A and B are shown apart, each in its own frame.
Chain A
Amino acid sequence: MDVFSPKERLKKSLHGETTDRPPVICPGGMMNAAIVDVMNKTGNVLPNAHHSGDKMSDLAYDVFENTGFENFGIPFCMTVEAESLGSTIDFGTLECEPKIRKEVFPSVNDVTFLSPDAIGKTKRGDAVIQAIYSLSKKHEEIPVIGSLTGPISTSASIVDPMTFLKQLRRVRETSHKVIDYVTEQLICFAKHMADNGATVISIADPTATGEILGPKFFDDYAVFYLNKITDAIHEMKIPVIVHICGDVKMVKLQLKKLHCDVLSVDALIDLKILKNELENIRTMGNLSTYLLQFNNSESVYKNAKNLLSKNIDIIAPACGLSTSTPLNNITAFTSAVKEG
């Protein structure tokens, strides 16, 4: 018999309180765990489940039940925000996640500013909110994680990304204006998630890496706007996970400035070392998704056990899972953590 419910354990871990063991989760969004094996087993499939609150919550439950991850994680993609702000989406297939078909604006100078709370008012934004509501009502002991696409990635999903990256340098004021607008929209969406029962908000911002932006722009844009969202969500009394992709060695000083409760990073980072370098941070991660996809369950199990020795606060995949990841590898991962 577990001492803590999954929700209690996750909340305690997010606040750095002692628990029996770290939780093992997969937050949804960029880290979507709706893999092909699960969908084929239960018949609740993507891309259908991207469009309806009921289908989304059914699939999130299937993922929870079959993978052993101790949370519900929704949505299953990174396109809800950009679609709501005007970009066109290709919804993909059962195996392939949705993606931006076309960014709506050629440059930051062309952005049309919609009225606040645009994301929650769209059909897909509403589906996410409804799914969070029904899951949190039906399963009080299981944490519901609302996933957001970060401000830089969302901006680079509504403005042509190559132009956007140059404009971060070339037209800083307008770039700030656009990212600030996106940030405000994300805060409104996060508020709906919080009001409807989300336990945690998780933000992944894959365009905002030190490798792409360099330390200065990472600081000026990524850290600044991630903190703006985080502070607003903290006012809603909801904890925040931030995931930073890629190699972070160039931006360690900047990572220290993040206000999030837990920092999640990619597999190439040794979390034990990172934790020593950035005192007082709580970490999440970081089992290689390559390993999960291509190796056998024995190796997954062994590596998961190794992660447990690194004093990581929350155990999770290191990045976006491939939808073709074998289910038995994921269960080997989650059971290794649950055994403690």
Chain B
Amino acid sequence: MEKTKEELYSEMSGAVVNMEEELSVQLSQKAVEFGYDAFEAIDQGLAKGMEQAGRFFDEGEYFVPELLMCADALSAGVEILKPYIKTEQHEEKHKIVIGVIAGDTHDIGKNLVKLMLSSAGFEVIDLGRDVPPSVFVEQAVKENAKIIMISSLMTTTMDGMADVINLLNEKGIRNEFKVAVGGGPVSRRFADKIGADGYSSNANQAIKMANELIGRQ
């Protein structure tokens, strides 16, 4: 008997949660064969699985290796479905530029945040690691981003986060962007001190924060 659409979406979600990359690909191919809407299959299937993985991460059920593998299963499925998305379905995605501040090459946290935000429907432009403050500002302007996200895992590089905000102030464009910071040694107190708009202590919470920053629930 044929699976219903809901059953298939639920299995797709399960494949992501269970880190099953091949199954995610197979089920995504099935969704294409059955002629289901590709956007819906991502949104109601694969992305739901990633949301669940994020909750497991929050609850201490999953850790970084598991979350990364779920993300691999998600992207493998998305790759199959992407060519079938009808262009008019693209709601305008809010852009975020993200990077690790100059002096620091630890990018595990940044990569986690990036993949959680991408799976939650943001367009994330990755500036990489060891990024000078001026580049955050240039790229945010160029990309017309809504949010600038800066990560640091070394206390030695945290001053650079404040420099990004100072640069925005100097150029008189501070109000055009929301600035969010995160990373191991960064605290809410530090974020407030340098005048950042947002702070998140982990990758899953970053989704909620980003939604709040752009005024979306």
Contacts from A to B (Cβ < 8 Å): 90, 92, 95-97, 99-101, 161-162, 165-166, 168-170, 207, 211-214, 217, 245-246, 250, 289-290, 293-294, 319-324
Q: Does B130 contact A (CB under 8 A)?
A: yes
Residue of A nearest to B104 (CB): A99
Q: Which residues of B contact A169 (CB under 8 A)?
A: 19, 65-66, 69
User: CA separation between A294 and B187, bound complex, in Å?
Assistant: 13
Most chain B CB atoms below 10 A, which of A92, A169, A321: A169
A213 is contacted by which of B65, B104, B111, B154 (Cβ under 8 Å)? B65
- Give 7 closest A-B pairs by Cβ, nearest first: A214-B63, A96-B103, A322-B155, A99-B105, A212-B64, A165-B65, A169-B65
Mask, B173-217, CB within 8 Å of A = 1, is 000000000001101001001000000000000000000000000
Contacts from B to A (Cβ < 8 Å): 19, 60, 62-66, 68-69, 72, 102-105, 107-108, 111, 130, 154-159, 184-185, 187, 190, 193
Most chain B CB atoms below 10 A, which of A95, A99, A324: A99
Residue of B nearest to A245 (CB): B184
Contact across chains for A99 and B63 when beta carbons are under 8 A apart: no
Contact across chains for A162 and B111 when beta carbons are under 8 A apart: yes
User: CA separation between A95 and B159, bound complex, in Å?
Assistant: 11
A-B contact pairs, 19 of them (CB 8 A): A96-B102, A96-B103, A97-B154, A99-B130, A101-B105, A161-B107, A165-B64, A165-B68, A166-B65, A169-B65, A169-B66, A170-B69, A212-B64, A213-B64, A213-B65, A214-B65, A289-B155, A319-B155, A320-B155
Contact across chains for B63 and A211 when beta carbons are under 8 A apart: yes
B63 is contacted by which of A213, A319, A320 (Cβ under 8 Å)? A213
Contact across chains for A289 and B185 when beta carbons are under 8 A apart: yes
CB distance from B5 to the nearest CB of A (A): 31
Contact across chains for B184 and A95 when beta carbons are under 8 A apart: no
User: CA separation between A132 and B184, bound complex, in Å?
Assistant: 31
Q: Which residues of A contact B154 (CB under 8 A)?
A: 97, 320
CB distance from A245 to the nearest CB of B (A): 7
User: CA separation between A320 and B152, bound complex, in Å?
Assistant: 13
Number of A-B pairs whose CB atoms are under 8 Å?
77
User: CA separation between A20 and B209, bound complex, in Å?
Assistant: 50
Q: Which residues of B contact A92 (CB under 8 A)?
A: 103
Q: Which residues of B contact A99 (CB under 8 A)?
A: 103-105, 130
User: CA separation between A246 and B111, bound complex, in Å?
Assistant: 18
User: CA separation between A92 and B104, bound complex, in Å?
Assistant: 10
User: CA separation between A88 and B147, bound complex, in Å?
Assistant: 32
15 additional A-B residue pairs with CB within 8 Å, beyond A161-B107, A214-B64:
A96-B103, A97-B103, A99-B130, A101-B105, A161-B108, A162-B111, A165-B65, A165-B68, A169-B65, A169-B66, A212-B64, A212-B108, A213-B63, A290-B155, A290-B190
Most chain B CB atoms below 10 A, which of A162, A217, A245: A162
Contact across chains for B63 and A293 when beta carbons are under 8 A apart: no
Q: Which residues of A contact B66 (CB under 8 A)?
A: 169, 214
A217 is contacted by which of B63, B156, B157, B190 (Cβ under 8 Å)? B63
Q: Which residues of A contact B193 (CB under 8 A)?
A: 294
CB distance from A303 to the nearest CB of B (A): 15
Residue of A nearest to B61 (CB): A214
User: CA separation between A320 and B157, bound complex, in Å?
Assistant: 11
Most chain A CB atoms below 10 A, which of B62, B69, B193: B69
User: CA separation between A245 and B130, bound complex, in Å?
Assistant: 22
CB distance from A323 to the nearest CB of B (A): 5
Contact across chains for B105 and A165 when beta carbons are under 8 A apart: no
User: CA separation between A165 and B60, bound complex, in Å?
Assistant: 17
Contact across chains for B68 and A162 when beta carbons are under 8 A apart: yes
User: CA separation between A97 and B154, bound complex, in Å?
Assistant: 10
Q: Which residues of A contact B184 (CB under 8 A)?
A: 245-246
CB distance from A150 to the nearest CB of B (A): 15
Contact across chains for A162 and B156 when beta carbons are under 8 A apart: no
User: CA separation between A170 and B66, bound complex, in Å?
Assistant: 10
Contact across chains for A166 and B155 when beta carbons are under 8 A apart: no
Contact across chains for B68 and A324 when beta carbons are under 8 A apart: no
Contact across chains for B156 and A320 when beta carbons are under 8 A apart: yes
User: CA separation between A324 and B193, bound complex, in Å?
Assistant: 17
User: CA separation between A168 and B65, bound complex, in Å?
Assistant: 7
Residue of A nearest to B72 (CB): A166
CB distance from B54 to the nearest CB of A (A): 15
